[in-house]
Amino acid sequence: MSDERPPINNVAALANVSRFAQLVITTQNRAAGLPGMGCFYGPAGLGKSTAGIFGTNKFNACHVQALPFGGTKKLLEMIVLELGLRPTKTVSSLFDQAAQELARSDRPLIIDEADQILSDKMIEAVRHLHDQTQVPVILMGEETLPQQLRRWERVSSRVLSWVSSTTRLLAF
């Protein structure tokens, strides 16, 4: 057995970098009163995470990769650590740390593999981070992420832009 992974389709990866960057720009430059969440979704292996890493560097974003374990506390700890802070002990104090630093730094928050945070407590914590800080929050995940997010009206109504990693670009 080989640990080699097939190479990412470079054309798809480059197109996704462009799509992702435009999504971040759209949420950053939104008109007053508009929601600032975005959703970047599509099948595995097309360069979504590569685009997210590029966006993290380009926009000085706070980027975390959600895990299928640990719950809200683990997610908030990862955000706080990525923001360069020492995590506190309780969920409420972790939330306050994350919200204060995101608001202060005005950094976008990118959550890769957001399919892993689709529980009531976790997705509501992310929504509250968005509402309190008004920073762009980009949720990245598999192709069913938009349909899954519709379960939470208070979250899906805050998504300004839904961007598929498989949308065809027009050639000129």
DSSP 55-97: HHHHHT-EEEE--SSSHHHHHHHHHHHHTT----SSHHHHHHH
Q: Is the model's pTM score more than 0.75?
A: yes
Please state, in angstroms and rounded to a whole number, the distance separating the CA atoms of residues 110 and 63: 5
pLDDT of 170 > 70? The answer is no
Q: Quick one: average pLDDT of 19-34?
A: 96
Of 3, 30, 11, the residue nearest 108 (C-alpha)? 30
Please state, in angstroms and rounded to a whole number, the distance separating the CA atoms of residues 166 and 5: 20
User: 4 falls in which pLDDT band (50, 70, 90)?
Assistant: low
The pLDDT score that the predictor gives to residue 15 is 87
For 35-164, which CATH superfamily applies? P-loop containing nucleotide triphosphate hydrolases (3.40.50.300)
Q: Find out whether 156 and 128 touch, Cβ atoms under 8 Å.
A: no
Q: Quick one: average pLDDT of 127-149?
A: 97
